[in-house]
């Protein structure tokens, strides 16, 4: 068995005008698809025996112990597969999910950052300030407090022996240029500001509830 590219639950056009259809199609089929194919190649190759049968989450959590010959490939592509599988689920067409955090999630954000607006400002800084390619994240730590961090390339906070600040992600933003360049060119802050219009706060609330139980986001990761 090997990993398969997951479907997105909405059309490529559904996030317009904030994220354009061409970007979504290329991002999903080409970029995410390549991560899946490269991860499968590494696991199915001569050095991947210890990784066969592991879940995608387990691969990310244990990437530091992957065989030397494929560790970089697994780190980049296992992270890329998990990050994007997660990313598609925390976006939704504008107006189809809660327009802002509420309930326990809102309370946790206000407790950690003072207000939702202050949280967004700090998150925006992390996303805009990530040099080169990478991600910005809202996570829960072991004390169940929320924090913001960023990671380079396709690393994520599940990679405890890799990430500067490990934790359970509940929200993440892809700031690789391929996520926004067709529409926003070099205007990353404009992309970040527009992205808030398509955040699926219902999914984020679900992942927050899972994190309070000590679980990483429960994602549908198809196999073939």
31 annotated among ligand-binding-site residues: no
- Six-digit token pair at 87? 């990313």
Rounded Cα gap, residues 59 and 74, in angstroms: 8
Q: Is residue 89 within 8 Å of 219, Cβ to Cβ?
A: yes
DSSP calls for 167-195: -EEEEEEE-SGGGTHHHHTT-HHHHHHHH
Phi then psi dihedrals of residue 138, to 5 deg: -110, 125
Distance of CA 85 to the CA centre of its chain: 7
Distance of CA 171 to the CA centre of its chain: 7
47 annotated among ligand-binding-site residues: no
Rounded Cα gap, residues 112 and 50, in angstroms: 39
27 annotated among ligand-binding-site residues: yes
Q: Is residue 124 within 8 Å of 206, Cβ to Cβ?
A: no
64 annotated among ligand-binding-site residues: no
State the binding site for Mn(2+): 27, 84, 174, 178
Residues annotated within the binding site are 27, 84, 174, 178
């Amino acid at each position: 068995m090997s990993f398969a590219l997951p479907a997105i639950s909405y059309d490529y056009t559904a996030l317009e005008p904030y994220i354009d259809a061409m970007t979504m199609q290329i991002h999903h089929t080409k970029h995410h698809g390549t991560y899946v194919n490269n991860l499968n190649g590494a696991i199915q190759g001569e050095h991947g025996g210890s990784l066969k049968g592991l879940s995608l989450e387990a691969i990310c959590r244990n990437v530091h112990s992957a065989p030397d010959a494929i560790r970089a490939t697994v780190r980049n592509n296992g992270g890329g597969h998990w990050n994007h599988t997660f990313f598609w689920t925390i976006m939704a067409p504008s107006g189809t999910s809660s327009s802002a955090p509420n309930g326990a999630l809102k309370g946790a954000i206000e407790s950690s950052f003072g207000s939702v607006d202050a949280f967004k400002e700090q998150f925006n800084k992390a996303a805009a300030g990530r040099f080169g390619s990478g991600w910005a994240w809202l996570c829960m730590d072991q004390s169940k407090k929320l924090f913001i961090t960023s990671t380079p390339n396709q690393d994520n906070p599940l990679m405890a022996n890799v990430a500067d600040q490990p934790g359970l992600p509940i929200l993440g933003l892809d700031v690789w240029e391929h996520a926004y360049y067709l529409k926003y060119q070099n205007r990353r802050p404009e992309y970040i500001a527009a992205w808030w219009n398509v955040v699926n706060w219902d999914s984020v609330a679900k992942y927050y509830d899972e994190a309070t139980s000590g679980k990483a986001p429960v994602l549908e990761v198809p196999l073939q």
